[in-house]
Amino acid sequence: MIKRSIILGALAALSMQAQADVGVMVGVGWAFGGSGPAITIKALSSDKQDEVVAAAGVSYYPLSQNKLGLDAGVGYNFDNAAAIISWDFLQGAAQLSGGWSDTESSRRRSPLPSAPPPPPPPSAPF
């Protein structure tokens, strides 16, 4: 049941973020259930900060017998960081991960006002 909830949550988040650029997170994770620490890289549904994101990733577990993990989940983008909770399908365990993410501000910047046009040249006397 937990697997289905995580997958449905990830799909819902992906559908809401269809107009955003894809983001990337590189960091560390912890799989609960005996797999221990991991080095992970994840594709995020958005590169905007202060947004909920869907995530899909690959993890390497150096201390586990099963070294590879593939996961999907949901998380949050902060300022140049992300935190993700996901389900690792190869490890069969929940994973909590966090790390660096190249985020952009979600606030729209208004363009600077343009300079007024220069005045016309003076007319020559006749």
Residues near 75 by beta carbon (within 8 Å), at least 6 away in sequence: 44, 52, 53, 55, 82, 83, 84, 85, 86
47-99 tens-digit pLDDT = 999 999 999 999 999 998 899 999 999 999 999 999 999 999 999 999 999 99
DSSP SS3 for 24: strand
Range of the domain at 34: 2-101
Residue 123 lies in a domain: no
Residue 118 lies in a domain: no
How many domains would you assign to the chain?
Answer: 1
Q: Where are the alpha helices (DSSP H) in the chain?
A: 2-16
Residue 79: inside a domain, yes or no? yes
Give domain status of residue 78, yes or no: yes
49 assigned to some structural domain: yes
Distance CA 96, CA 2 (A): 14
pLDDT digits (tens, 9 = 90+) for 1-22: 555 655 555 555 555 545 558 9
Rounded distance, CA 98 to CA 45, Å? Answer: 15
Q: What is the spatial distance between Cα 105 and Cα 98, in angstroms, rounded to a whole number?
A: 19
- 115 part of a folded domain: no
pLDDT for residue 81: 95
Q: Is residue 47 part of a domain?
A: yes
Bin 4: left if φ > 0, else alpha if -120 < ψ < 50, else beta: alpha
Q: Does 92 reside within a domain?
A: yes
